[in-house]
Chain A
Amino acid sequence: MKKKIPLTGNAAFAEAMRQINPDVVAAYPITPQTEIMMTFAEFVADGLVDTELVTAESEHSAMSACVGASAAGARVMTATSAQGLALMHEVVYIASGLRLPIVMGVVNRALSAPINIHCDHADTMAERDSGWIQIYSETAQEVYDHTILAIRLAEREDVRLPVMVCQDGFITSHGVEPVEILDDEVVKKFIGEFKPWNPLLDTDNPKTYGALDLFDYYFEHKRQQFEAMKHVPKAYEEVAEELSKITGRKYPKVEGFYMDDAEYVIVVMSSTAGTTKHVVKELRAQGKKVGLLKIRLYRPFPKEEISRLLEGKKAVAVLDRAYSVGAEAPLFCEIKSALYDVKAKPVLASYIYGLGGRDTPPSLIRSVYEDLMNGNISKEEKYLGVRE
């Protein structure tokens, strides 16, 4: 029996964690992720899970504890945001390099300086090359579903890679929404029992993790990681299909909204996709041929689907809630690259929006569609909602 309860995005992640009942969770509180660990710590204290909760003294230590526990053979989860993720940075690479299937909730938040606690995607974009799978969530429901999906994906024999389940800080993380929760038993059955590979605690077969890997083998181990990432699209589709059968919800890598006959398209990730859907419906009511392409799986980048869905469109605006100072914005850059091999190339426009939690109301999204429809497109990126 499915039940619908009001939850914040943070509580939805914590609820999924409770049902997953990981062996080890290591954490350090950081805004806006704090609520995840506060809620989960209550579950531990109340005996609802038998997780070993490691309260570390920093995020660097938290991820290190996760790496140690995962190598030991445990099912491991954690959560972080912004500066915390940045502090984890070196260990983030170690987790993926050692091929440990850790699942981490990332509540997206701007990176300092100046100090800011609100949403943008600068933190996870900085980790996009770290070898972690990245899934971006539009709603609290997606946070819940993606978390359960992520466990299965990370632990696939042909994948063995860590996963970040991202959501928008304060927007999704603290906004209350109705979330449909699966039965504990259903989740337990779906994720199954974790069978670790080469666990350190298998003391009859001693082994070494994290040995020096110089010019003789480092490249080969990276090659293995690249290969594992190439297995993800197929693995993702299989796991998503399986979960869809239980929930009735679809989780395509990229989600098209009114895309079939759309001529003017916005590409965006996370909660702003919700705002854009609202604007698309309004403009469709006026007979405008507009559509939305929401990127759910950002790593590995679903290049083929994107180029197929955007081919032949008149104009496409890519909205980045992140930046690359001195270069094109990350999502724009990759969309542009994905369209290189396409014959009928749409005109492309780059918009940077919502940095540091700057509100992105429907009026701003509408202005982007108007730019596309009026041919008001420049080579330079535009800044949505910044004061001149």
Chain B
Amino acid sequence: MSLKGWKELPPGGVILEAGNSIKYKTGTWRSIRPVWNKDKCINCFMCWLHCPDGSILVRDNKVSGINYDYCKGCGVCAAICPKSAIEMKPESLFEEGEKK
């Protein structure tokens, strides 16, 4: 997303589009990324319970992945996982395009 210049912005920092916070991808703050290993996961939901950003995705009562748009990389999920199914890896290992 390209940033706007001062001539294009509504004066006073007013946001004219309601409900646009969904566009603010806090996942861009992340420097380390949780990588989930499906084979090790026992679906205990400890990660889901502790994730401060609600970024552990669940489908049909099973963990289905991680929402990298909003995951800030805090590492709580990896620390709490009893089976070490989540590993924290530096963002630099991933391609720029892959980082949402």
**Interface set of A (CB-CB < 8 Å, partner B):** 97-100, 160, 197-198, 205-211, 213, 216-217, 220-221, 223-224, 227-228
Contact = CB atoms under 8 A, between A and B. Distances in A.
B10 interface: yes
Contact of B12 (A97, A205, A206, A223): A97
Residue in B4, B5, B13, B19 whose Cβ sees the most chain A Cβ within 10 Å: B13
A100 B14 CA distance: 11
Q: Which of A160, A213, A224 has the most CB of B within 10 A?
A: A224
Contact of A207 (B3, B5, B9, B14): B14
A223 B15 contact: no
A205 B3 CA distance: 23
Contacts of A210: 13
A100 B11 CA distance: 10
A217 B8 CA distance: 11
Contact of A98 (B4, B12, B17): B12
Contacts of A98: 12-14
A223 B11 CA distance: 10
B93 interface: no
A334 to B, nearest CB: 26
A99 B11 contact: yes
Given A98-B13, A208-B18, A211-B15, 6 more contacts: A160-B12, A197-B11, A207-B15, A209-B13, A221-B12, A224-B12
Interface in B1-44: 3-6, 9-19
A210 B16 CA distance: 12
Contact of B16 (A100, A160, A198): A198
B9 A224 contact: yes
5 contacts: A98-B14, A206-B19, A207-B18, A211-B13, A220-B9
Nearest to A226: B6
A211 B12 CA distance: 10
Nearest to B9: A220
B1 to A, nearest CB: 10
B9 A216 contact: no
A216 B11 CA distance: 15
Contact of A160 (B3, B11, B15): B11
Nearest to A94: B12
Contacts of A228: 11
Contacts of B18: 206-208
A224 B14 contact: no
B6 A198 contact: no
Nearest to A216: B3
A203 B62 CA distance: 41
B3 A213 contact: no
A41 B69 CA distance: 53
A206 B16 CA distance: 7
Nearest to A203: B18
A208 B10 CA distance: 11
A208 B15 contact: yes
A225 to B, nearest CB: 8
Nearest to A221: B13
A207 B21 CA distance: 12
A205 B11 contact: no
A198 B14 contact: yes
A205 B19 CA distance: 11
Contacts of B5: 220
A223 B8 CA distance: 12
B91 to A, nearest CB: 19
